[in-house]
Amino acid sequence: MSSHDYNRYRVDVEGGQLSVGVWEPVASGPGHVPTVCVIHGITSNHLFFAGLVSALPGVRVIGPDLRGRADSRTLPGPFGMRAHAEDVRAAVDAFAEDGPVTLVGHSMGGFVAMTLAGLSRRTGAEAVRCFRGPVLIDGGLPLPVGHSGGGEPVDDLNDEDLDTDDLIAAVLGPAAERLSMSFSTVEEYLAFFAAHPAFVDGLDTVATESFVYDLAAKDDHSFQPSTSIEAMQADSADMYTGTDYREALQTIMGDEESQSEVVFLYAERDLVASEPGLYPPELVSDYARQWPRLRTNDVQGTNHYDILLTETGIDTCAAAVGDRLGAAPDGAVE
């Protein structure tokens, strides 16, 4: 028997309607139902969290498709962390207005979660009580950027000469190239991922359903990934140079209480299953010294994708989420 009932809805946002998946717990006790909002990565969608949802019985999970992706792909810009944060807030208000809601972000979703948390803290005490966390999964803290051709890394937040193409090539690599590709069948798209070094152990049900959901049909009956290239370019640049994320980072990490609520889980390997991961251990150590109340967890044996697919990754992420849920007096998970 499934632990949750799943439905998809549309929520009014600036420029149209945002597609939002909601997993309602089948079995929950009386009173307040603890709620989590999961925020996906730059070329992903909400179904990538389905494995984590199964590990959170009794918890409501809200999962928006960010604008420019999947079933929200027709939503226009502007894009960027603040725009996504405002969309996520609309989704939360629609399904968990009473709060508190634990924010969970994977990859770029971590940057969106931090931006929303920071904006909320600057809004006032009532808004602060709406959110817990965030729990950041291989994202959400500043990334080092190496040139795609190798060589010394650049300063990720202060190099004014670093353009969007450099950012995309350095960080996203093949993930960005995929967006311009066409596939004649769904099976061909799945075969592309089956040959991807990050999925050498095969595609499980969660990954398969997320990838199939990601495809958009073209007029010639072929398929292409749904993520808008315009959205990816704008969001990539905004993660590094946008003021809203940087201000949110300073707001959250500059306050000891809010800093202690942030949980950062990072994968051992990167997007192509190479070591080190997106966050090398020495960088995480630097962050731990800079923000001593930040809680970090090195999820060994995982890469940027399967940290949400493998048993080890899901168990670790679920434990971190459960810990943050337990911090809310009326939202404890037994």
Cis (ω within 30 of 0) for the bond into 30?
Answer: no
Grade residue 160 by pLDDT with cuts at 50, 70 and 90. very low
pLDDT tens, 267-276? 999 988 999 9
Please name the residues in contact with 319: beta carbons below 8 A apart, sequence gap of 6 or more.
Answer: none
Query: Is 50 exceeded by the pLDDT of residue 125?
Result: no
Task: Please give the pLDDT value at position 314.
Answer: 98
Give the residue with greater pLDDT, 175 vs 144.
144
Helices H / strands E in the chain, number of each? 13, 12
Task: Please give the pLDDT value at position 65.
Answer: 98
Task: Please give the pLDDT value at position 1.
Answer: 56
The tokens describing 190, both together, are: 């799945």
pLDDT tens, 215-237? 999 989 999 999 998 999 899 88
Task: Please give the pLDDT value at position 157.
Answer: 35
Grade residue 148 by pLDDT with cuts at 50, 70 and 90. very low
118 φ/ψ angles, rounded to the nearest 5 degrees: -65, -45
Mean pLDDT of 128-141: 88
Mean pLDDT of 290-314: 97
Query: Is 80 exceeded by the pLDDT of residue 3?
Result: yes
Query: Is 50 exceeded by the pLDDT of residue 333?
Result: no
Task: Please give the pLDDT value at position 163.
Answer: 57
Task: Please give the pLDDT value at position 330.
Answer: 38
pLDDT tens, 74-120? 999 999 999 999 999 999 999 987 778 999 999 999 999 999 999 98
DSSP sequence for 212-269 = HHHEEE-TTS-EEE-S-HHHHHHHHHHHHH-HHHHHHHHHHHTSHHHHTT-EEEEESS
Pick the CATH number of 4-146+228-326 from 3.20.20.70, 3.90.480.10, 3.40.50.1820, 3.30.210.10: 3.40.50.1820
Task: Please give the pLDDT value at position 329.
Answer: 38
The tokens describing 214, both together, are: 């990601």
User: Rounded to whole angstroms, what are the CA distances from 64 to 112, 206, 245?
Assistant: 12, 16, 19
Task: Please give the pLDDT value at position 182.
Answer: 93
Give the residue with greater pLDDT, 124 vs 113.
113
Query: Is 80 exceeded by the pLDDT of residue 11?
Result: yes
Instruction: Note whether 90 and 112 are within 8 A (CB).
Output: no
Mean pLDDT of 172-193: 86
Query: Is 90 exceeded by the pLDDT of residue 156?
Result: no
Give the residue with greater pLDDT, 143 vs 25.
25
Query: Is 70 exceeded by the pLDDT of residue 15?
Result: yes
Query: Is 60 exceeded by the pLDDT of residue 202?
Result: yes
Task: Please give the pLDDT value at position 28.
Answer: 65
* Mean pLDDT (the chain, rounded): 87
Grade residue 151 by pLDDT with cuts at 50, 70 and 90. very low
Mean pLDDT of 289-302: 97
Query: Is 70 exceeded by the pLDDT of residue 287?
Result: yes
What is the domain partition of the chain in residue ranges? 4-146+228-326
